[in-house]
Structure 1
């Protein structure tokens, strides 16, 4: 069997604008806009609908590994939650839950689908609901529309069943459609590509601003020119929820004073040159727990190496006090 590989280095035309004699002046690896978002409606400052969708998949994985109440589950799965909001942006009820889960091939298609639907509604959803605060449990109701494996049988999963051409699901990787997205996928890109690093940096900024009490909801946008270190501009939208006597433009100018948004500074601040990315392969890149773990490379070999790495550094609330001081918040 013959193989053909056409992988080569990045174009020197691009690279000459990225690598500089002074690392601090490293240019952005691409032009474009990146967004970070945070909201007070959940404990991890994520949109509620996406947070619930992730919780459903995390609990589904627990059920699969337990292999107790449900014995037919396979690894591939995805979910979606639709929430009805009041005119003043308060969650009222869950309208729709969509779950597609890979499964063993068992029984006739109709009876198989009925069994899966019954288990998702009567086992999975109650287990997730039980972990929530009472005010969130109240959003579950008898009128939820459920779409469980809506295409029918889902036996073939993973890349063997369906793959996209490039990138990843950028909306589920970020905020589930809330806030905004500049269009650049994260996975597979090193942090010189601001599609990834600046998206992490703006999430870090937005989360620390909300946690510090600057606003209940914050969208931070930053834009870059390829090969240029300093951002072209920083934009902020608090959606009218600001708790400080400043305009969104004035808040943006303070952000530039607090956070260095040059690509190299972002890489250093968030430790993006470490082996931290495999954990972003499922359950999204945002709203995750920042923690330090030990990874082992080349296990059992002479060159085995253990490395302590800090995961999801952009989720840390390490700038709250600096933000409070800058905005004179007690």
Structure 2
């Protein structure tokens, strides 16, 4: 059996790489309420260190990479780095997750660098609500960036909406209509509390009920796709609707991914406190074989399930993990 597998037989071939913890938004479910203390510059992995690690993962069979943050587009030198990543042998797909505020400027350059797909985090279509949720008056810029990404063929453009009960849970039908009218894919994501105690959970079942009540009665399941999102198509539209259910219907048994934090920790599970420093290994002169051995060991011991199922909370907020 070739490739990277854990002890439960899950095939791990998807690496999410956070290149920075910095962001120009202050989304309440991502940033800690008491304020942000950015990582020191020296703690962030350098681009050459990231390239070395991604090459190691590719050598073990990882073929899909997604670049995240923070907001990855705020880090200087990102485009040359992306060009290096897209040329690594074995890497078949490179995507990027962004808040969209800088996407109008960078969309075409991202496409030219070899990025295949864009995910945009957008939790509301209402300007005043957007300002409250992000701390910035940039909704128009985000919408322009999404349009530009579509024009640049970074398709399908995926819009990630974290649905929070009593905050934006009344906008599900509006966001679905927006996506379908513009041939985007909207993915409604259940709120994950991480280290906060606030319960904003609005389940996918409740989301579907709201969509049906709004007239979205012809949702056709997309078959044969292996990803956390359950995707539905609507007749007469090239857009689609998806649901990601980490809380109500977890997908631990089919998880195929692993994460690298901006400060160089390998997290085998987003919703687990287990993490292992690759930065220390890199900077202490570890050989490629030693790095490969540690990666394989971490993957082999990937947790069977996430900590929400055990009633636990996370030690890191989302901004320190990567989207």
TM-score, length basis structure 2? 0.30
- The structure number with the bigger radius of gyration is 1
TM-score, length basis structure 1? 0.30
